[in-house]
Amino acid sequence: MTAILKNAQMFRHGVFSRGDVSADMGPRVSRGGSDSPFSVDASSFVILPGFVDVHVHLREPGFSYKETIRTGSLAAAHGGYTAVCAMPNLNPVPDSLEHLQPELEAIRHDAVVRVLPYGAITRGEQGEALAELEAMAPYVVAFSDDGKGVQNRNMMRWAMQEAKRLGKLIVAHCEDNTLLHGGYIHDGAYARAHGHRGICSESEWRPIQRDLELVRETGCRYHVCHVSTKESVALIRKAKAEGLPVSCETGPHYLILCDEDLMDDGRFKMNPPIRSAADRDALIEGLLDGTIDCIATDHAPHSAEEKSRGLRSLNGIVGLECAFPVLYTELVEPGIVPFATLLNALCVNPRRLFRLPGGKIEAGEIADLTVLDLNWPHAIDSTLFFSQGRSTPFDGWTVTAGVDKTICNGNLVYTASSRNINKTPIPPCQEDYL
């Protein structure tokens, strides 16, 4: 069957235009077309290449009580994402082809959208020995020890040299363990006022500074995870001005919240922590001037019990299902961030930086599409999430827009009209997509 979206506003080549889009129930886009059993008046919608989240935690294998490939990819479809990159803090850690196989098998059987796994940088993410990067390279999107910073400079240099040789990104969780001192929220006014132990900004920006020196030395493509401080933005901006192959992401919560918004609730506990208003403003400035390339949710579900200990709960919140409506409502509608800038950060730049195909609404291109409804006032309700996780600081927030449909590989995998999810898993098509 062919899905025909008629008279749609389309985001193509960084600008908006109107026309009809046909996506055969096959993997490629066509333009125009005639009526079919699935024809939609899309005049009030915006159609764009499917969102890509380069930083999610799907917890399988090893921690399926938190999330699975199935529930996490359902959540992604609900949020308009047609591809997500899954971090390697799993059991077993994908640090060899053998240890990667259980995750690849779960993806093949259960993924509803494209799930692209990371390989670990070091064995067991312990930072002591390099993982089997060459063996994993054809099957992973990049290498990361997310959740743990690579503490040893020489180990990171070796990893960068190998990644450069293999044509892969190093994606870095930047955290200096010697500077944490038992902190668990931002070292700011809220922490001091309420007797919490703080995490200093230097614990993030100092490893970035070190790694940028190694990028100058090795020439490795390097991507910084979840940037949260103004100092980190300044370092990355300078590195880009030098022409270094550096990129970075931040999360919706860092762009919208600051430590003045904190409550002693597990919904506000993540790593890095929500920082100061000055940090938030610097992140917005970095998004506007191109220093920050991507917005990634760091979707990190936990059980209700694990998130029941206030600001001493386990680190991590869910984000796939509410990222777009919150970002649009809080940043685009007030005129803080242009709509095109937001869309570039959600669907164009991630594909470019991670060298993923698609991203164009053109005949013959991969039919990974997201349909947005910009006139849909509703409240974020975590009880309606497909994710097994429910912990988000945005629960109950009123938003003005949402995802109406998600099409992955030519298949309608989500539609808001009936909250339908295609129960047939979408083959990840790893050979073509990576």
Burial classification of residue 24, based on how many CB atoms lie within 10 Å of its CB (0-12 exposed, 13-18 middle, 19 or more buried):
middle
What type of residue sits at position 360?
Answer: K
Catalytic-labelled residue, pool 20, 187, 298, 395: 298
How far apart are alpha carbons 415 and 120 in whole angstroms? 35
Buried b (16+ CB within 10 A) or exposed e, 154-172: ebbbbbbbbbbeeebbbbb
Query: Three-state SS for 72?
Result: helix
How far apart are alpha carbons 286 and 249 in whole angstroms? 10
How far apart are alpha carbons 377 and 100 in whole angstroms? 42
What type of residue sits at position 415?
Answer: T
**What is the DSSP-derived secondary structure letter of residue 419?**
T
How far apart are alpha carbons 221 and 246 in whole angstroms? 6
Question: Across the chain, how many H-helices and E-strands are there?
Answer: 13, 19
Burial classification of residue 305, based on how many CB atoms lie within 10 Å of its CB (0-12 exposed, 13-18 middle, 19 or more buried):
exposed
Q: Dihedral sign for Cα 320, 344, 412, 431, please.
A: negative
Which structure tokens are listed for 65? Answer: 């009580």
Report phi then psi at 126, rounded to 5.
Answer: -95, -10
Report phi then psi at 253, rounded to 5.
Answer: -65, -30
Place of tokens 């920006």: 205
- Is residue 18 within a helix (H) or strand (E), and if so which, with residue range? strand 15-24
Q: How far is CA 430 from the centre of its chain?
A: 19
Pairing assessment for the beta strands 15-24 and 29-31 based on DSSP bridges: antiparallel
Active site residue 289: no
What type of residue sits at position 76?
Answer: A
Beta strand extents in 80-224 (DSSP E only): 81-86, 114-117, 170-172, 185-186, 198-199, 222-224
Catalytic positions, please?
298
